A and B are shown apart, each in its own frame.
Chain A
Amino acid sequence: MLKSRFGRWSKLGLAGVAATGALMLAACGSPAGAGGGAAGGGGSAVEEDELKVALVTHAAPGDTFWDTIRAGAEAAAERNNVELLYSSDPDGARQAQLVQQAVDQDVDGIVVTLAKADAMAGEVQKAVDAGIPVFSINAGEEAYKDMGVLAHFGQNEFIAGQAAAEEFNEAGAQKAICVIQEQGHVGLESRCEGFADTFAGSSEVLYVTGTDMTNVASTITSKLQTNADIDAVLTLGAPFAMTALDAIADAGSSAKLATTDLNADVYSAIGDGSILFGIDQQPFLQGYESVEAVRLYATGGYVLGGGQAVLTGPAVVNADNLDSVAAQFEGAEDAADSES
């Protein structure tokens, strides 16, 4: 009896050790990214104490837009001797908990997106009360001041929509659809409202399921098939623009396509004329400036913006100024995991 019992327990112990070992391995073997970025930061020439900054976003996993923000944040972290802790959760309540965790970890600064400002308010207040400087990026322009956030880096969504409308007006478009990939996303809705506000012709909103590209393609195609007179399509994210390109071709439509938010694919599509223009909010800047803002604040309480949101967009990218932004997109695919 004793022997068999001992065998049982040792096996159980082994299983535990094996599981722990596997997890540790996986943790150590993960690609240099959020955790490992700071270790290789030999580029900092200034002798400063290392700061620990948490970047907490509402990114859904696997969205290229957020890779750019993260790349910007990592570039700034490397130059400013900052250890960057990246975490994200699209669910407002869980994102708030991530902010709470950053407070628990006693970081020197928190950069947060306020897409769901009300859900975040309590935890952000706690961070402010704990004496941690908080900066917001990307979303939350109308809410950040009341929450004790020092400065906001982002674009005004309404103005971005207006900028897209002005470009389409110049191109002489008459009937447009504004494609929203996440129903219930206030920022995207407001972009389409800005577009509708300034667009000379008639425009309507088309909802697609952004997490399912086949749905995006088929919804846009069927919309264009039923309304052959649509001559302008505005998507609100780079990956959706590329899908919309195929959808427009499938529908046999001659509609002009434009998008907000760029990536390398959209950049080359603007180059070959298949996409008319892009409205960029320069996410790289949002990531970069906000992390640098923590360093500046630690240096001497410097704060950018003079109490107003620091606008990082809209920047219009079209055939005329394509060359000036080339550096952003050439080799941008692997910028996120370069070791520089």
Chain B
Amino acid sequence: MSTATAPKFDERIARGNLFTRFFTKPEAGATAAALVLAIMFAVVAPQFTKPDSIATILYGASTVGIMAVGVSLLMIGGEVDLSAGVGVISAALSSSLFMYWFGGNVWVGALIGLVFSLLVGLLNGWLLTKTKLSSFIITLATFFMLTGLNLGVTRALTGGVAAPSIAAWPGFDSAAAVFASDIPVFGVKVKITVFYWILLVIIATWILQRTRIGNWIFSSGGAPDAARAVGVPVVKTKIGLYMGVSFCAWLLGMHQLFAFKTVQSGEGIGNEFLYIIAAVVGGCLMTGGYGSAIGGAIGALIYGMALKGVVYAEWNPDWLKFFLGAMLLGATVLNFTLQRRAARGGKK
């Protein structure tokens, strides 16, 4: 992966290799697609490039991107998590229902939410390694169980279908400042989730590129048996990856809880596909062993731009989902075509 600086003026690895060097990276195709998309929307919708709009687009992208970080790492490790969408709502609900039932400081509630989330991740990972079933089946089961839990527990405790507002509890203001505030950047208010997203991408990239754990993730996904044979703790790695997704779900869940003060128990269903799509568009393989955290971030950005761009361009929203699908397909195809071509050109 190291792109060493080129030796002085050697023609054999001069400009011809710029293309191959760039496009052999997982996130390269997504970057190209994101640029095409940004230019297209900038042309058809002048509104798209205004600072306020960019802040809105980034916020929309960050609510997918935060999860896409965890999901990208998990997919590089060769697994999927279908319970990630409802997991976000579960995290928020477990926090707010705990506070509703026991009272106390919201930070305690947030901590309970984190513990609950990590336990879900632990359960997913543990079941996966114990049962030897595919992660698709395991997390599908978790997805249904969490969906039912969200609704069942909420109704059992509150009698309603939404968690009561938590705005009145002590510590709310400080927690809201941490999880759901606006940060002014050059006079434009940017939601704090955008910064968390960037931070998570940096941390995940560092883990993948610079640590032993990163090597474990790549090898567990690419060749689990070989990895096990050379002493990689595959079981621990996969459990850790699921807990990573859970942590991201908790962070996003806390944002929703403190931004909106209440949680609807029926939400979050279907969002897991957005996270998977972001990771795949960003160059993560469904089979594992290949991808990057930055790719997942760019995938989320593509989704955010497409979703908001259709509104700014004032197109008929009936077609929104079609555009999304078409754009995602285009980005992914472009990505793999370029990579294959770059790989061929890369053979010297």
Which positions in A face B, CB cutoff 8 Å? 1, 5, 8, 12, 15-16, 19-20, 22-24, 26-27, 30-31, 33-36, 61, 85-88, 91-94, 96-98, 100-101, 103-105, 116, 118-119, 121-122, 182-186, 189
Contacts and interface: CB of A to CB of B under 8 A. Distances in A.
B100 interface: no
> Dominant SS at the B interface?
helix
Contacts of B59: 97, 100
Interface in B52-89: 52-53, 56, 59-60, 63
14 contacts: A12-B32, A12-B338, A19-B330, A20-B36, A24-B44, A34-B316, A35-B315, A93-B63, A93-B259, A104-B47, A118-B260, A183-B161, A186-B161, A186-B264
A238 to B, nearest CB: 19
B40 to A, nearest CB: 5
A32 B308 CA distance: 21
Find the residue from B32, B319, B321 having the highest chain A CB count within 10 A.
Answer: B319
A235 to B, nearest CB: 19
Contact of B316 (A24, A30, A116, A186): A30
Interface in B301-348: 307-308, 311-319, 321-323, 326, 330, 334, 338, 341
B151 interface: yes
B56 A35 contact: no
Interface string B20-64: 000000000000100010001000100100101100100110010
A186 B266 contact: no
Given A30-B316, A33-B318, A118-B262, A186 B63 contact: no
B323 A26 contact: yes
Contacts, number: 117
Contact of B314 (A5, A16, A35): A35
Given A5-B19, A92-B267, 17 more contacts: A27-B44, A27-B319, A33-B318, A35-B315, A92-B260, A94-B60, A100-B56, A100-B59, A104-B47, A104-B52, A104-B56, A104-B312, A119-B259, A183-B151, A184-B265, A186-B160, A189-B160
Nearest to A15: B334
B315 A105 contact: no
Nearest to B319: A30
Interface of B: 16, 19, 32, 36, 40, 44, 47, 50, 52-53, 56, 59-60, 63, 151, 160-162, 165, 256, 259-262, 264-267, 271, 307-308, 311-319, 321-323, 326, 330, 334, 338, 341
A61 B162 contact: no
B266 A36 contact: no
Contacts of A182: 266
A27 B336 CA distance: 27
B317 A87 contact: yes
> Dominant SS at the A interface?
helix
Contacts of B312: 101, 104-105
Contacts of A31: 316, 318
Nearest to B271: A91
A88 B318 CA distance: 9
Contact of B47 (A19, A27, A105): A105
A34 B36 contact: no
B244 to A, nearest CB: 22
A118 B40 contact: no
B319 A61 contact: no
Contacts of B330: 19
The 6 closest A-B pairs by CB, nearest first: A184-B266, A119-B260, A118-B262, A184-B161, A30-B316, A33-B316
Contact of A23 (B40, B47, B52): B40
B19 A8 contact: yes
Contacts of B314: 34-35, 85
Contacts of A184: 151, 161-162, 264-267
B260 A93 contact: yes
A184 B259 CA distance: 20
Find the residue from B36, B50, B264, B323 having the highest chain A CB count within 10 A.
Answer: B264
A5 B313 CA distance: 35
A101 B63 contact: no
Nearest to B270: A91
A122 B59 CA distance: 14
